[in-house]
Amino acid sequence: MNDWQTYRLEDFIPFTPDIYWRLLERVNETFWPLHILAVAIGLTALLLALRGNKRTALALLAPAWLTSGIIFHLTYYAELNWAAPWFGWGFIAQAALLLAIALFARSIKAQEPSRRVSTWIGTTVAMLSLLGYPLIAATMGPGLSHAETYGLHPDPTAIATLGVLLLLLRSPTLWLALLIPILWCVIGSLTLIAIDATGALIPLATVTVIAGTAVARSIKSAAQPPI
Amino acid sequence: MSHRHSRRTALKLLGAGIAATWLMPHLSLANPGGLLRKSIPDGGHLPVIGLGTWRTFNVGSDPQLLDARTEVVRAFFEHGGGLVDSSPMYGSAPDVMGYALEKLGKPDSLYTAEKVWSPAGGSTREQIADLSDRWGVDRFDLVQVHNLTDWREHLEVLKQMKADGEIAHVGITTSHGRRHDQIERIMREHDIDFVQLTYNITHRQVEGRLLPLAKEKGIAVIANRPYDGGGLIKNLKRRHEVPGWAAEKFECRNWADFLLKFIASHPAVTCAIPATTRVEHVIENMRAGHEPMPTQATRERMIRHIASL
């Protein structure tokens, strides 16, 4: 039998669920009340995105990637998972990418096909992640002290970013900006599945919704006759 | 009771003991109902239940979890535990063992088992020195080549270290049924003291060649993944009752007894290394190492029972 066929998902996760819950809790214990500021910045980015202030909105997403990369991955998660420094640098790279796009990307054309649908989906995903994600731990998980928050924990950071990016960008820049958040959502879901956590499929489901919407929008856009 | 009768009884017991030793060379019947210990190469005995640290002891620098794992280690030793197995691949587990041993002291029964891994590149001694510092021990009782990574180079150095008295025993490890052909070749061709492999009631491939070979060559066997990563006992506890006949046959009280006694009662197995985060579970595990153990006929019935679920 091929060695790789003998591996299971759990074999790649070097800690037990209680260790992961404590990791979330420790970040909360140490950095509260930074959570309020982080969520406020996230909500501002969403509001600016809805008002069409794209460059500032993109720039406001960057700090959350920087803080969750440095605090969560490089400082805490790195103690448990040898891959965490790679994740941390990936988050820092995403922060840099968002800033670069904010500085250099061309503005999005107005009057996009099915804009209303993608606006609604992007806004809902971002709002749920910014305000609803902490409630998952409080209502279905180990408790509010383990709540995951945008800007400090990677899953809500990536999910909220997916929603806001859907409002702001279009292909191919959109896909470039979505790459790291999508990768993280896949890794995040697989990690949560391996430790049998409640809501494990939420990041993966979000990726499906956002990517599906982006693809549908691209197809409609391509089918639209040139004006 | 007459002297003649008691002498006859004593001779019977002696005969039974010799027969048991001949039939099961690793078996050392310590005291009826007590924790079973089995012999290891070069003399000495190990309790049949050890402590694994994969996933469970990788807690980083979290003071709350460091103390919680220290309590697990305390309970392990209080209930007669000996072998603790770790690896540099288990994240902070060696540091956590160092923390626990600093808090608890080093009991006489402690038997330290570590591993070397990753490309050797002349780093075997360096890896062991680093791990010694992390555990806070002068030397390890056993150093194993983890999953056969660069095993030729590592094994040569380990043999030299054993000859120099820097470590007591040398071993190799595998898990999940991987690379058994290579493990068998090393067991045949090299002078090793321990082999660590996956053995539990649902993964019994090693019964065919590796366990008989270990018994033949006097190589001690550490059985990893006794609960198949935890999923086996979790599913059994959730869905099934322990069969009543198991209590009659070998005083089985729970699924930990059922699964661990199955492993510990194999004549070639020296010890099983369940990992846990909870004190009540480590106590349950240690109790499973107590006699009586299932007979061969009962072991076969246990296999049929699990297969039928």
- Give the whole-angstrom CA distance, residue B271 versus residue B38: 8
Residue B8 lies in a domain: no
A102-111, A116-125, B114-123, B291-300: segment of lowest average pLDDT: A102-111
Task: Say yes or no for a CB contact (<8 Å) between A7 and B176.
Answer: yes
Q: Tell me which of A195 and A158 has the higher pLDDT.
A: A158
Longest dimension (CA), chain A: 59
- As to burial, measured by CB atoms within 10 angstroms (0-12 exposed, 13-18 middle, 19+ buried), residue A171 is middle
Total count of domains within chain B = 1
pTM above 0.95, yes or no: no
Range of the domain at B240: 25-308
Task: Say yes or no for a CB contact (<8 Å) between A6 and B178.
Answer: yes
- Taking alpha carbons only, the member of B262, B253, B194, B195 closest to residue B227 is B262
Q: Does B229 touch chain A (CB under 8 A)?
A: yes
In the DSSP assignment, the letter for residue B54 is T
Residues 6+ apart with CB under 8 A from A32: none
pLDDT band at B303 (very low <50, low <70, confident <90, very high): very high
The answer to whether the CB of B183 falls within 8 A of the CB of B219 is: no
The answer, yes or no, to whether residue A72 has pLDDT greater than 80, is yes
What pLDDT was estimated at residue B3?
44
Residue B17 lies in a domain: no
Task: Say yes or no for a CB contact (<8 Å) between B60 and A11.
Answer: no
Residue B14 lies in a domain: no
Q: Which of chain A's residues have a Cβ under 8 Å away from the Cβ of B177?
A: 1, 6
Centre a 10 Å sphere on the Cβ of residue B70 and count the other Cβ atoms it contains.
18
Counting residues of chain A whose pLDDT is more than 70, the rounded percentage is 91
What pLDDT was estimated at residue B147?
86
Residues A76-88: what's their mean pLDDT?
95
pLDDT band at B165 (very low <50, low <70, confident <90, very high): very high
Q: Which of chain B's residues have a Cβ under 8 Å away from the Cβ of A8?
A: 229
Q: Which of chain B's residues have a Cβ under 8 Å away from the Cβ of A14?
A: 54-55, 58, 89-91
A117-126, B27-36, B44-53, B153-162: segment of lowest average pLDDT: B27-36
Residues A47-61: what's their mean pLDDT?
93
Residue B10 lies in a domain: no
Q: Does B227 touch chain A (CB under 8 A)?
A: no
* H, E, C per residue of B208-262: CCHHHHHHHHCCEEEEECCCHHHHHHHHHHHHCCCCHHHHHHHCCCCHHHHHHHH
The answer, yes or no, to whether residue B12 has pLDDT greater than 90, is no
Q: What is the CATH number of the domain that holds B303?
A: 3.20.20.100
The answer to whether the CB of A153 falls within 8 A of the CB of A24 is: yes
Task: Say yes or no for a CB contact (<8 Å) between A15 and B59.
Answer: yes
The answer to whether the CB of A188 falls within 8 A of the CB of A98 is: no
- Average pLDDT of every residue of chain B: 89
What pLDDT was estimated at residue A218?
81
DSSP string, A1-66: --GGGG--GGGG--S-HHHHHHHHHHHHHHHTTHHHHHHHHHHHHHHHHHHT-HHHHHHHHHHHHH
- Give the whole-angstrom CA distance, residue A220 versus residue B3: 101
**CA of B6, closest CA in chain A: separation in Å?**
54
Residue B230 lies in a domain: yes
Residue B15 lies in a domain: no
- Segment A86-116, tens digit of pLDDT: 999 999 999 999 999 998 866 555 445 456 8
**CA of A19, closest CA in chain B: separation in Å?**
6
- Segment A167-179, tens digit of pLDDT: 998 888 899 999 9
Residues A215-223: what's their mean pLDDT?
81
Task: Say yes or no for a CB contact (<8 Å) between A22 and B58.
Answer: no
- Give the whole-angstrom CA distance, residue B232 versus residue B246: 18
- Average pLDDT of every residue of chain A: 89
The answer, yes or no, to whether residue B125 has pLDDT greater than 50, is yes
Task: For this complex, say whether ipTM is above 0.95.
Answer: no
Task: Say yes or no for a CB contact (<8 Å) between A15 and B178.
Answer: no
pLDDT band at B15 (very low <50, low <70, confident <90, very high): very low
Task: Say yes or no for a CB contact (<8 Å) between A14 and B56.
Answer: no
Residues A51-73: what's their mean pLDDT?
95
Residue B223 lies in a domain: yes
The answer to whether the CB of B210 falls within 8 A of the CB of B195 is: yes
Q: Which residue of B has its CA nearest to A77?
A: B60
Residue B7 lies in a domain: no
Place of tokens 């999953």: B147
